[in-house]
Amino acid sequence: MKQDATVTGAERLLLVLTALASHGKAMSIKDMLAVTGLAQSTLYRQVALLKRWGFVTEDAGYYAPGPISLQLAVGFDHNSLLVESSRDGMTQLSRTTQESVGLVVAVNDQVICLEMVESTHSLRCSFEKGRAVPLKAGASAKSLLAFMPEKTRSETLDRQFTDDPTARIALEAELDRIRSRGYAISDSEVDPGVWGVSVPVFGRAARGANANPNRNSNANASITLMAPSSRAAGRERQLTDRTVRTAQAISARLQAESFQRNA
């Protein structure tokens, strides 16, 4: 997330806010310097402005998102058509499978979890509501990458594979297979012992009578079901089919509600 040459002006504020939001715990100035790449004097100015407006709070030299950030989060939860259209389907899928289900999106080379329905069984994984992981490995990341606009995906991979063209070629081939079949599966790629299946959610129907959404649409998000590898063993097909059906139902609802709002 370090600053590049094109980050100027107000974007520095957003750089600091993004660092605080994605870190998962309070940060010192030293922490923020390492993450953002900003000059120390510049960083102090941005932090002071954010504190004055309530976007950042400080405790004993450690900084975290402030109360205005909470208002933004509440507003997002209440007004996001994507989250609103997904909750019921996610809850039903989790109840039926007894596994955890997340709604994820891609932002700034990260996978961000917008909503999470936890399983009644314990599961240690990197995903929880509001958390982010790199947009590189695992079913969620690959599902999102596979159904990105081609230009965006290419630019993302350019940033991630500057020193390993062989790994990029292998991932691009895998993403093409994912796009063809309509979902991504991984096992222990992000968290050891965690199996996952991730299926894209489309906010706009594919065009044409014979249009295949797997190849003609770009995804708004993905629905990801996560389970311990030991509990998923022998159930992979069942879990995949149910997640696919849930994502399709959410896509249909999202498209219908979007049409009604814009009518």
Tens-digit pLDDT profile for residues 40-76? 999 899 889 888 888 888 888 898 888 877 667 766 6
Same domain? For 22 and 118 the reply is no
Any idea what the CATH number is for the domain that residue 243 is in? 3.30.450.40
120: Cβ–Cβ under 8 A, 6 or more apart, which residues? 98
Same domain? For 87 and 48 the reply is no
Would the pLDDT of 175 be above 80?
A: yes
Structure tokens at 192: 């050891």
What pLDDT shows up at residue 55?
84
**CA dist list (Å): 202 to 5, 69, 173, 215, 249:** 34, 28, 22, 12, 10
Number of domains in the chain: 2
Same domain? For 90 and 56 the reply is no
What pLDDT shows up at residue 216?
46
pLDDT bin (cut points 50, 70, 90) of residue 209 is: very low
* pTM (whole model) above 0.85: no
Same domain? For 139 and 243 the reply is yes
**How large is the average pLDDT for residues 138-154?**
94
Question: Which of 19, 54, 71 is the endpoint of a domain?
Answer: 71
4 in a domain, yes or no? no
What pLDDT shows up at residue 140?
96
Same domain? For 167 and 100 the reply is yes
Same domain? For 122 and 186 the reply is yes
Same domain? For 114 and 156 the reply is yes
Lowest model confidence (mean pLDDT) among 9-13, 183-187, 214-218: 214-218
Lowest model confidence (mean pLDDT) among 13-17, 84-88, 210-214: 210-214
Same domain? For 28 and 146 the reply is no
| 3-class state of residue 126 by DSSP | coil
Any idea what the CATH number is for the domain that residue 42 is in? 1.10.10.10
2 in a domain, yes or no? no
**How large is the average pLDDT for residues 211-219?**
56
Same domain? For 252 and 177 the reply is yes
What pLDDT shows up at residue 205?
60
Same domain? For 22 and 101 the reply is no
Same domain? For 252 and 233 the reply is yes
Same domain? For 245 and 118 the reply is yes
178 in a domain, yes or no? yes
Would the pLDDT of 263 be above 70?
A: no
| 3-class state of residue 39 by DSSP | coil
Place of tokens 């700034």: 108
Write out the residue range of the structural domain in which residue 61 sits.
Answer: 10-71
